[in-house]
Structure formats: C-alpha cells, structure tokens
Structure 1
Amino acid sequence: MNASPAPPDDWTPRGSVSALVAFAPGGGSDRSARVVAESLNDLDAGFDVNVENREGGSGAVGWATFMSEQGNGNALLIAETALNTLPLLYDVPFTYRDFTPLTMFAQDSRMVVAAQDAPYDTCEELVEAGAQDPVTIGSSGRTGADSLVNAEFEKNGGQFSVVPYGSTGEVLTALMGDQIEVAPASAASAKPYVESGDFKALCTLTADRYDDPVLGDVPTAREQGLDAEVTVWRGVLAPDGIAEVQRDYWISAVREAMDSETYRDYIEDDLLIPADLEGEEFEEYLHEYDEEMKEVFR
C-alpha cells in the first residue's frame, strides 16, 4: 500500500473542515467549539469549519471516532479536561497522547448551586451533610469538570451519589426539576439562575472570586475552609500523524482567530480565564496536568 504524499510546504486547508466535540449540544464544550469554528471561519481563509457533536460515554465515543482521522489536516478536535481524566478511570482505546496538541485557548472552573430551600448555604455545609448521608449531585459526564468537583469534595470528607447527564444544561434542568440536590456548573451557565433567584450559590472552585456583579460575592471553597480547587483546560487538537506544516498552519490560524471580537466576548461572557499555550508548550502542560489528575483520582 502506497503512503500518502507529504503535503506541500505551502499547505492550507480547503473546503470543509470538521471540528469534533465529544459532548451534546448546549454545554460548555459545544459552546467553545462553536466559538472556535466561528472565529476561524471569520478569517475567510478558504475553508469552512463545521462543528460535529459525537456525544456518548462521557466523551469516549467522540474521541475514539476522532482517532480514525489520523493524518487528516482537515480535522480538528475541540476538547477539554476529560480527555485526561477519562482514560485514568475507564478502559478506552486512547489517551491525550494519541492526538496532536495545537492551542489551549481558555481555562475554566466550576461553582456549585442548589435550590433556594436546600438545607445548606455553603460548600462547607454541603460536605458536612454529605459526610452524614450521601447527597445526590449531578455531573456533566463522569470524568469532566463536574467529576473533579465531586472528587475534591470527597477528599474533604463528603460522600455523593452522582447522576450523570450529557451536558451542563441538562444538569441544571435536573436541579430545577428536583431530580438532584446540588449541581456543579460553569459560572456562565449558573449565573442566570442565581440572578433570577431560582438557585443559590454555595461556593466557587476558583482560586479567586469571580470579577462579576452577580457572582462576585460568592466565596471560594478555600475561603470556606475546604482544600478544593478545580481548573479545567479547553483547547484545540488535531489528529495524530499530521505533517508539521499542517500543525503550524492551524496553530497560526487559531492564534489569529483568538484576536477576534467573537473570542474576546466569549471569554468575558463565559467568565473564563484566557489562555494561550501552543504546540509543545500545550503538550507539556497536558503532561503535567495528567500527573495532577492521577493524584486526584488515585
């Protein structure tokens, strides 16, 4: 079988480019994928990025599917922390090392909300309640950001009965319907419910409080005496086996896209921390993050 010819030194993508996200529409991963796609398409560089949702198995279905794109320079993967954590807990045919890191474009965290009549007002009280009787908590997937909240709280002595959902939107809908008792969520997703008075915020899992008129008064878990903090990466990766010229092209294109108003509005509206790690720096970050996650889930 003849090997495919190497792409030319002036390679550029043409036509349709897939941007796979391994979670359902409506969640944080889907939102980030659509921002990346829109920002890249606004470059008007001769290609059209289309988001494809391949949810299932807490990301496993989508990421396993993406492995078949090996060597394809016209395929992108918009991924997040669960790409590190899923292979630590489940027997899946990939790790983050099976893909090509391009750019980490944002960091995210979580906050925890409950119904207004919940018997706890802080995460410290929540953990104390869980130590007496397991609390039902929602989770967008079993190994993503929400699962890190659960792991952090269990390290502090709480116990939780986890109900998995396909997206943060589904988790918050379940809390609204009294199907669960508490919900971890992104700040942007939880903010409208806190602002409307439907939910009360128990704490954030950030290093510092949010710089936000609605959420700025919500204390961090550390302020409440819990040794708990959650940092989530969001980034763009490519298939394994792409040529260096293809990797370099996409790193440059994403860098240019991150200078757009669409990207800046996304960071501000979603209360994210901007990030800009490219290529080998992003790869090294993933190695270090993986070691941290091994400690969390050991």
Structure 2
Amino acid sequence: MYRLALILALACAWADAGADSEYPARPLTYTVAFGPGGGNDLMSRTVVDIIRQYKLYGDQHIRVENRPGGSGAIGYGRVARQAGNAYVITSTSGSFLTTPIVSETSWTWRDFTPIALLALDAMFLVVRTDSPFVSMDEFVTRARQSDMKIGGNGATGPDRVVAGLLAESAGIEFTYVPFQNGSGLLTGLTSASLHALVSNPSEVMGQVAAGNFRVLAYSADSRSTVYPEVPTFVEQGYEVEFAVPRGIVMPAGVPADVRDWWIAVLKKVVATPEWKNYLESRGLSAAVLWGDDFGDYLGRTDSEYRRILDSFGSIH
C-alpha cells in the first residue's frame, strides 16, 4: 500500500510540473549540454543573468547545470526524457541537430518544444592577411588549380557543413582538416599548414582585429549586423547559406500557456541592452523567431544538415 501511494504521489508531482495555475511556481533547471566557457554555455548564462537582473522569473530560483558529453547527446537527452516538465529548459546549438543525424541517440529536435530563436551564429571563411586571396573568386580559382586545405572544428559540425556547401556550389575539391578545439584551428592557419579555415566569428575576431586574418565571406543569408563590411557568400555568387540556430527549447509536451509565457519573457530579454552587448561581443547576428516559426526553421535546417552530411558520407 505504501509503495502504491508513493508511486501515485510521484506521478501527481510530475504531472503538476506542467500544470501550475500560476507559472512559475517552482525553481527552473537550465541545462547546458556542453561544458563551461563555450558558446552555448555563454549564451545560456547570459539569458539567465538577464532574467535574474530584470526579475522576469519572479522570486523563483534558476539553476544552471552543465551536462556535457557526446557532442550534446547527454545534456539534450536528459532534457528530452522529461516530456511535459515545464521547469526544465535548454539552448540549441549546431550539435542539437547534427548529433542525432550522425550518432544513435534516443532523441531528435522533434522531441522538444521550440520556444524561440534568439540569434544566428553564421560562419566566416578566413585566410591569412598575407595570403594572395582577397576575394572569393580568387580563392575558388586557386582551389580549382591545386589542392587546398581548409580547417574547421569537428568532422561533422557546422564548419564542415559550410565547407561542404562551398565545395558543392563552387564545383571545387579540397582537403578538409578537422580540429578538436578553436586554439588548434587558429594555430593551423597562423602556421600556414592551412590555406583557410571556417569558423564562427567569435573564435577569430581577435585575430581579425589584430590584422592577422582576412575574412572572405559570411555564411548567413544577409550581412552580419556586427560585421556589415563582410560580404556574404551569396552576394559573391556562391550558394552557401548556413547559420547555427542559437535558441531556446523545452521538453515536448509542455503546456501551450507555458510556451507562450516563455515567448513573452524572451521578447523582453532580446530588447535589453545587455542582450545587444552580448550579440556584439560574440559576433552574433540578431535574429528572432517564435514558437512554431522556430520549429519550422529547425525542420528546414535539419533537412539541409542531413543532405550535406550525407553527401560526404558522414551518415552511416
């Protein structure tokens, strides 16, 4: 009898996690699927700091927990298993889409409730300033004549996708060199063991500002709001459009009124000067989509990831 009562009590408590009459009525767990200090962690903590500063979550506590491992598989899996729980939230990344494509995970992006896209983290194609390449056409012409090495973080992440899109659009072949971290990638270019690299702006902005690197192109569909002087691939004649979605999701099955509550809160977050400063300091472009519109965006981006990753044999 005691065991049955305990099970019923736990079941009721779990159900109540998504059914409070006045939300929020409990502390929130903000799960970061990566280690401290990275781009996903910084975005998550920036959002939480703004929410705390402006008291947008009332008097309730927000706990940020890092659950790294498996290119996001562990942290995202932890959130996905809590379907209906309105008191857990997480941030998206490139791995939010690519990890389920190239690995066997128990979840995909469809196991989450899309709340908001807050920014786009598109990629730069970067060369050394002492290289002979000043434009994309010069770079592509050389790539058609001889083998070139382009570096990026990871074998199947956003950097690889952008490099693959460039090869497809320009009709070129090159050797892609994957790196495990940003410092190794930068060293690869500064030491001239690479001809170019693909990276998000935050990783190379210091070298660009110091005059060591030159940016040839930006992978979003429009110019960066932080680096408006950098032309896109598209305006230079190359069909490369890609950006990592920096957004917010919750487990599947959270009540619609909770989703709408979070949308309203995040609209306030992105209007703050603190958020604008974050975007500028990290080289991110402002971009917002809410609810189902964000879900549609994730679906389209997932399809493009699958097509490109399959084209160079990363899906087994």
TM over 0.5: yes
1:76 counterpart = 2:89: yes
The answer for the alignment partner of 1:282 in structure 2 is: 294
Contact 2:225 2:286 in 1 (8 A): no
TM-score by length of 1: 0.83
The answer for the alignment partner of 2:212 in structure 1 is: 198
Considering only CA atoms, is the larger Rg found in Structure 1 or Structure 2? 2
The answer for the alignment partner of 2:37 in structure 1 is: 26
- Secondary structure of 1:69 counterpart: coil
- Equivalent of 1:235 in 223, 243, 247: 247
Over 3 Å counting, the alpha-carbon distance change for 1:72 and 1:172 in structure 2 is: farther
- Secondary structure of 2:92 counterpart: strand
| Aligned residue type for 1:261 | P
Structure 2 stretches lacking a partner, 5+ long = 1-6, 311-316
| Aligned residue type for 1:10 | E
Over 3 Å counting, the alpha-carbon distance change for 1:65 and 1:224 in structure 2 is: same
- Equivalent of 1:150 in 163, 176, 197: 163
Structure 1 residue 96: deviation in Å? Answer: 0.1
Q: How many residues align?
A: 293
1:100 counterpart = 2:113: yes
- Secondary structure of 2:46 counterpart: helix
Distance in 1, matches of 2:33 and 2:90, equals 9
| Aligned residue type for 2:103 | Y
Over 3 Å counting, the alpha-carbon distance change for 1:115 and 1:25 in structure 2 is: farther
The answer for the alignment partner of 2:147 in structure 1 is: 133
- Secondary structure of 1:47 counterpart: coil
Over 3 Å counting, the alpha-carbon distance change for 1:172 and 1:23 in structure 2 is: farther
Over 3 Å counting, the alpha-carbon distance change for 1:46 and 1:128 in structure 2 is: farther
Distance in 2, matches of 1:208 and 1:104, equals 17
The answer for the alignment partner of 1:226 in structure 2 is: 238
| Aligned residue type for 1:187 | P
Contact 2:152 2:160 in 1 (8 A): no
Structure 1 residue 124: deviation in Å? Answer: 4.3
Structure 1 residue 135: deviation in Å? Answer: 0.9
| Aligned residue type for 2:110 | R
- Equivalent of 2:177 in 162, 166, 172: 162
The answer for the alignment partner of 1:47 in structure 2 is: 60
The answer for the alignment partner of 2:309 in structure 1 is: 297
Distance in 1, matches of 2:224 and 2:266, equals 27
Structure 1 residue 236: deviation in Å? Answer: 0.5
Deviations 1:218-237 (A, max 9, x none): 33323444222223321101
Contact 1:82 1:143 in 2 (8 A): no
1:272 counterpart = 2:287: no
| Aligned residue type for 1:165 | Q
- Secondary structure of 1:219 counterpart: coil
**More deviation, 190-199/260-269:** 260-269
What percentage of aligned pairs have identical amino acids? 28
Structure 1 stretches lacking a partner, 5+ long = none
Over 3 Å counting, the alpha-carbon distance change for 1:239 and 1:173 in structure 2 is: farther
The answer for the alignment partner of 1:183 in structure 2 is: 197
Cα RMSD, aligned residues only: 2.9
Distance in 1, matches of 2:135 and 2:266, equals 39
Over 3 Å counting, the alpha-carbon distance change for 1:160 and 1:41 in structure 2 is: farther
Over 3 Å counting, the alpha-carbon distance change for 1:70 and 1:256 in structure 2 is: same
Contact 1:130 1:160 in 2 (8 A): no
Over 3 Å counting, the alpha-carbon distance change for 1:231 and 1:43 in structure 2 is: same
1:114 counterpart = 2:127: yes
**More deviation, 89-98/203-212:** 203-212
TM-score by length of 2: 0.79
| Aligned residue type for 1:147 | R
